[in-house]
Amino acid sequence: MVGSLRAEPARVVSDLRRLADWKQLFDGRVDAIHLTAFAGPKECTELVKFIATHPRTVGYDNARGILRLGNSFSDVRKSTSGNIAGAYASVDIVEEALGVSKVISQLLGVITASWPYGLETYSYRGVVLHRAIARRIIGAHAEPHDDNISKEVCAKTRWR
Protein backbone atom coordinates (compact mmCIF):
# COMPACT_ATOMS: atom_id res chain seq x y z
CA MET A 1 0.00 0.00 0.00
CA VAL A 2 1.46 3.35 -0.92
CA GLY A 3 -0.91 6.02 0.31
CA SER A 4 -3.28 7.03 3.06
CA LEU A 5 -5.53 9.86 4.06
CA ARG A 6 -3.72 13.17 4.24
CA ALA A 7 -2.17 14.07 7.55
CA GLU A 8 -1.92 17.50 9.13
CA PRO A 9 0.85 19.76 7.80
CA ALA A 10 3.94 19.43 9.94
CA ARG A 11 4.57 21.99 12.65
CA VAL A 12 8.01 23.38 11.88
CA VAL A 13 10.70 25.72 13.09
CA SER A 14 12.37 27.41 10.14
CA ASP A 15 15.60 28.61 11.68
CA LEU A 16 18.60 26.87 13.17
CA ARG A 17 20.97 29.16 15.00
CA ARG A 18 20.74 28.37 18.67
CA LEU A 19 20.02 25.65 21.18
CA ALA A 20 16.44 26.91 21.62
CA ASP A 21 15.67 26.01 18.00
CA TRP A 22 16.72 22.41 18.67
CA LYS A 23 14.78 22.27 21.93
CA GLN A 24 11.51 22.90 20.15
CA LEU A 25 12.05 19.67 18.26
CA PHE A 26 13.33 17.69 21.25
CA ASP A 27 10.37 18.82 23.37
CA GLY A 28 7.82 17.91 20.71
CA ARG A 29 6.59 21.47 20.17
CA VAL A 30 7.31 21.04 16.46
CA ASP A 31 7.48 18.02 14.18
CA ALA A 32 10.51 19.16 12.21
CA ILE A 33 13.14 21.79 11.57
CA HIS A 34 12.64 22.94 8.00
CA LEU A 35 15.34 25.06 6.40
CA THR A 36 14.12 26.21 3.02
CA ALA A 37 16.39 26.80 0.02
CA PHE A 38 19.50 25.71 1.91
CA ALA A 39 21.10 24.57 -1.34
CA GLY A 40 20.76 26.11 -4.76
CA PRO A 41 19.67 24.28 -7.92
CA LYS A 42 23.22 24.10 -9.28
CA GLU A 43 24.56 22.58 -6.08
CA CYS A 44 21.73 20.04 -6.06
CA THR A 45 22.37 19.09 -9.66
CA GLU A 46 26.08 18.58 -9.01
CA LEU A 47 25.42 16.33 -6.05
CA VAL A 48 22.73 14.31 -7.84
CA LYS A 49 25.17 13.68 -10.68
CA PHE A 50 27.82 12.62 -8.16
CA ILE A 51 25.41 10.20 -6.48
CA ALA A 52 23.77 8.82 -9.61
CA THR A 53 27.03 8.04 -11.36
CA HIS A 54 29.13 6.92 -8.40
CA PRO A 55 30.39 3.32 -8.77
CA ARG A 56 29.45 2.58 -5.14
CA THR A 57 25.78 3.47 -5.62
CA VAL A 58 23.83 0.24 -5.14
CA GLY A 59 20.27 -0.98 -4.63
CA TYR A 60 18.73 -2.63 -1.59
CA ASP A 61 17.57 -6.23 -1.66
CA ASN A 62 14.75 -5.43 0.76
CA ALA A 63 13.67 -2.00 -0.45
CA ARG A 64 12.43 -2.03 -4.01
CA GLY A 65 13.31 1.02 -6.12
CA ILE A 66 15.70 2.58 -3.60
CA LEU A 67 19.40 3.16 -4.26
CA ARG A 68 22.04 4.20 -1.76
CA LEU A 69 25.52 5.65 -1.77
CA GLY A 70 27.24 5.14 1.54
CA ASN A 71 26.45 3.03 4.54
CA SER A 72 23.73 3.10 7.15
CA PHE A 73 24.03 1.48 10.55
CA SER A 74 20.25 1.04 10.48
CA ASP A 75 20.55 -1.16 7.42
CA VAL A 76 22.30 -3.80 9.52
CA ARG A 77 19.15 -4.37 11.53
CA LYS A 78 16.79 -4.23 8.57
CA SER A 79 18.74 -6.13 5.96
CA THR A 80 17.94 -9.76 5.31
CA SER A 81 21.61 -10.53 4.72
CA GLY A 82 22.82 -8.33 7.56
CA ASN A 83 26.43 -8.33 6.49
CA ILE A 84 27.89 -4.87 6.19
CA ALA A 85 31.15 -5.85 7.83
CA GLY A 86 33.97 -3.93 6.28
CA ALA A 87 31.63 -1.31 4.85
CA TYR A 88 32.97 1.37 7.13
CA ALA A 89 36.50 0.56 6.05
CA SER A 90 35.71 2.22 2.74
CA VAL A 91 36.08 5.95 2.21
CA ASP A 92 33.37 8.04 3.86
CA ILE A 93 31.45 9.63 0.99
CA VAL A 94 31.50 12.91 2.90
CA GLU A 95 35.17 13.17 2.03
CA GLU A 96 34.44 12.86 -1.66
CA ALA A 97 31.35 15.06 -1.58
CA LEU A 98 33.27 17.92 0.02
CA GLY A 99 35.10 18.19 -3.27
CA VAL A 100 31.84 18.30 -5.22
CA SER A 101 29.85 20.95 -3.38
CA LYS A 102 30.44 23.36 -0.53
CA VAL A 103 26.87 22.84 0.66
CA ILE A 104 27.96 19.65 2.44
CA SER A 105 30.36 21.53 4.69
CA GLN A 106 27.83 24.35 5.11
CA LEU A 107 25.22 21.95 6.41
CA LEU A 108 27.63 20.42 8.92
CA GLY A 109 28.75 23.95 9.80
CA VAL A 110 25.25 25.22 10.58
CA ILE A 111 24.60 22.22 12.81
CA THR A 112 27.93 22.55 14.58
CA ALA A 113 27.56 26.29 15.12
CA SER A 114 24.01 26.07 16.42
CA TRP A 115 24.89 23.50 19.09
CA PRO A 116 27.11 24.84 21.88
CA TYR A 117 29.15 21.64 22.17
CA GLY A 118 29.41 20.90 18.46
CA LEU A 119 29.54 17.50 16.79
CA GLU A 120 31.27 14.21 17.56
CA THR A 121 31.44 11.35 15.07
CA TYR A 122 30.04 8.17 16.52
CA SER A 123 32.31 5.16 16.71
CA TYR A 124 31.15 1.65 17.46
CA ARG A 125 33.57 -0.93 18.81
CA GLY A 126 36.47 1.00 17.43
CA VAL A 127 34.90 1.50 14.01
CA VAL A 128 34.41 5.16 13.13
CA LEU A 129 31.06 5.28 11.36
CA HIS A 130 30.54 7.38 8.29
CA ARG A 131 28.78 10.74 8.35
CA ALA A 132 26.33 10.57 5.46
CA ILE A 133 24.33 8.35 3.19
CA ALA A 134 22.68 9.43 -0.04
CA ARG A 135 19.45 7.77 -1.08
CA ARG A 136 17.77 7.86 -4.45
CA ILE A 137 14.20 6.69 -4.88
CA ILE A 138 13.00 6.33 -8.46
CA GLY A 139 9.25 6.14 -8.90
CA ALA A 140 8.86 4.39 -5.61
CA HIS A 141 7.99 5.00 -2.00
CA ALA A 142 9.37 4.07 1.41
CA GLU A 143 7.25 2.05 3.78
CA PRO A 144 6.79 3.26 7.36
CA HIS A 145 9.99 2.55 9.23
CA ASP A 146 12.21 3.88 11.98
CA ASP A 147 15.88 4.42 12.69
CA ASN A 148 17.05 3.88 16.23
CA ILE A 149 20.67 3.47 17.23
CA SER A 150 19.73 2.08 20.64
CA LYS A 151 17.67 -0.73 19.12
CA GLU A 152 20.35 -1.39 16.53
CA VAL A 153 23.07 -1.75 19.13
CA CYS A 154 20.89 -4.02 21.26
CA ALA A 155 19.97 -6.22 18.31
CA LYS A 156 23.28 -8.15 18.45
CA THR A 157 23.97 -7.16 14.90
CA ARG A 158 26.29 -9.31 12.89
CA TRP A 159 29.69 -7.67 12.79
CA ARG A 160 31.92 -10.08 11.03
Partner 1 sequence: MREDAVALTVKCQLGVNLYLEMPEMGGELEGWHRQLNAEEYDRLRNPEPDLAYGVRRDAIGNPDWEIRPVLGDVIIFKNTELHAIRQGEGSRTTWGFFLGYRGDEKPLLVWS
Residues 8-27 that bind partner 1 (CB under 8 A): 8-12, 16, 19, 22, 25-26
What's the gap between Cα 98 and its chain centre? 16
Going from the C-alpha of 133 to that of each of 4, 36, 65, 93, 154, the distances in angstroms are 28, 21, 16, 8, 22
Query: Measured from the CB atom, is 41 or 55 closer to partner 1?
Result: 41
Using CB under 8 A, which of 18, 29, 64, 158 touches partner 1?
A: 64
Give CA–CA dist 95/56, Å, rounded. Answer: 14
Residues 115-154 that bind partner 1 (CB under 8 A): 115-126, 129-154
Asked if 159 interacts with partner 1 (CB under 8 A), we say no
Q: Give the containing element (helix H, strand E) for 69.
A: strand 66-69
- Least spacing, CB of residue 74 vs partner 1, in Å: 8
What's the gap between Cα 104 and its chain centre? 12
Using CB under 8 A, which of 54, 56, 60, 98 touches partner 1?
A: 60
Nearest alpha carbon to residue 134 among 106, 99, 96: 96
Kindly state the number of chain residues that form the binding site for partner 1, as judged by CB under 8 A.
Answer: 92
Note whether 52 and 44 are within 8 A (CB): no
- Least spacing, CB of residue 44 vs partner 1, in Å: 4
Using CB under 8 A, which of 58, 107, 113, 158 touches partner 1?
A: 107
